[in-house]
Structure 1
């Protein structure tokens, strides 16, 4: 049974619901190649989606939720059920951005048919507009299979976190000419197979520039280059919720500090019995 349904503004704590806007489409995203840079952030919850949606062209329900939300050591343990629950929440909380959902490790690599089964289930469960999968030329036939059957696919090349065990870590990719050439060839193969956009993660900058110039679809950089057609970051990293972040992250705020200070003030008020005050308690009616 689908987890997609509409928020009841009268009862949901996640209110007010954003004013409905016309949601962007996959063709609209493709048309932004080479024009105004595309804005993408991750989102995992209704409220985060509501706050980010007016500012973003795309919201990515990333399998990074394994680390950000669940404290897992990598994205590898993330399941389809986890992606479906959070994907449905983000769709409910958004009205404008294209919602893209990651296909977790093990849900698509076996065969194009397996990938279609997983992707179709995720889209039915969530209402997301597209899926994202990692991998280069080896996944081109899968990207083509899905695209030809009505499932928009965002590719992901360079540093591919699901392959962390094979890569041996999260270091920047493409420092040798052979690896650089392979990453560019991977991106071209994915684009030619029908990907509507490609995330380029954790590569030396000339690779990102070369890919952006070589493919007809938009490129979305993360640790890549400002010359990509758009950018994505994990929202919690961008907001400053974590002390340790990758080199390519810019912290646009100090939400961890805000939360810590608010919690300290709350604790002080509780211990001094100044909270709850008169405005927060119920008195007998006269």
Structure 2
């Protein structure tokens, strides 16, 4: 397969399938506000995920469960206003789609109408197939999410790697094929063995985006605040930090405080 990069002015769900077909890796990051989204989009990212991880990163909750649909719409609308190139995927939060396909459709419609997002993401496989089908029937693109599904953390009881055992691995592979058959345009695989993730990516034609799923998938996603080193206490094996903003920003704040206290700021050139 060719790995030559094609220039895309606007990323769509069709673009992503083309990228997989031509062997071009897909880059995906999170954003929750206008300013960060504008920077990430301008850098050339392919997908921006307005993740329910905002519950942790922006609001300080221990899990993703507390964030509401209204809050997700607020974050997503802020992101969409900044975007010129990237495809925006918005998480459906916990409790807005599980077990009730009519509610799932209503939730997805609200996100699309009120935020301007381009697609939604749901966690799970066969157990949410009715919700996925109903959302897709309205013409709303759906990204799947398998492996470690943070909205089910209390079911799992741990954030450790999923699908190490054969039974769970077989279910994950079957769920991935099912999600493609239902019409999902891509799937996120979170914290699964690299060998299994590669098998999944090779078994379906839609892109598989990994986080802690090795290098055999079609793309990668990280939480932006993690890869920038702003959340310094979070250090999983799969995370590569590209900056240490926790330290750099802390030093900048300390210098500002020092300049104010010492009367160095503002100086004569910084006044009217």
TM bucket by the smaller chain? over 0.9
1:271 aligns with 2:261: yes
Structure-2-length-normalised TM-score: 0.94
- In structure 2, what is the equivalent of residue 250 of structure 1? 240
Helix, strand or coil for the counterpart of 2:20? coil
TM-score, length basis structure 1: 0.89
Distance 1:193 1:94 in 2: 28
Secondary structure at the aligned position of 1:32 is classed as: helix
Does the CA-based 8 Å contact 1:240-1:255 persist in structure 2? yes
Residue 108 of structure 1, CA deviation = 0.6
Contact kept, 8 Å, 2:119 with 2:141, in 1: the verdict is yes
| 2:10 matched residue in structure 1 | 23
Determine if the alignment matches structure 1 residue 40 to structure 2 residue 28.
Answer: yes
Q: Contact 2:64–2:151 (CA<8 Å) still a contact in 1? A: yes
Aligned twin of 1:9: none
1:79-119: CA deviation from partner (whole Å, max 9, x where unpaired) = 00110000000000111000000000000113221111000
- Pairing partner for 2:41 from 42, 53, 59: 53
Cα deviations by residue, 1:238-273 (Å, 9 ceiling, x for unpaired): 101112222211101111111011011111111111
Structure 1 residues 74-223: aligned runs within 5 Å: 74-223=63-212
2-structure distance, mates of 1:170, 1:67 = 14
Asked if structure 1 preserves the Cα contact closer than 8 Å seen for 2:188 and 2:211, the reply is: yes
Unmatched segments (≥5 aa) in structure 1: 1-20
Question: Aligned equivalents of 1:278 and 1:36: distance in 2?
Answer: 53
Contact preservation (8 Å) 1:141, 1:193: no
Bigger radius of gyration? 1
**How many aligned positions are there?**
262
Q: 3-state DSSP class of the match of 1:269?
A: helix
- Counterpart of 1:33 in 2: which secondary structure? helix
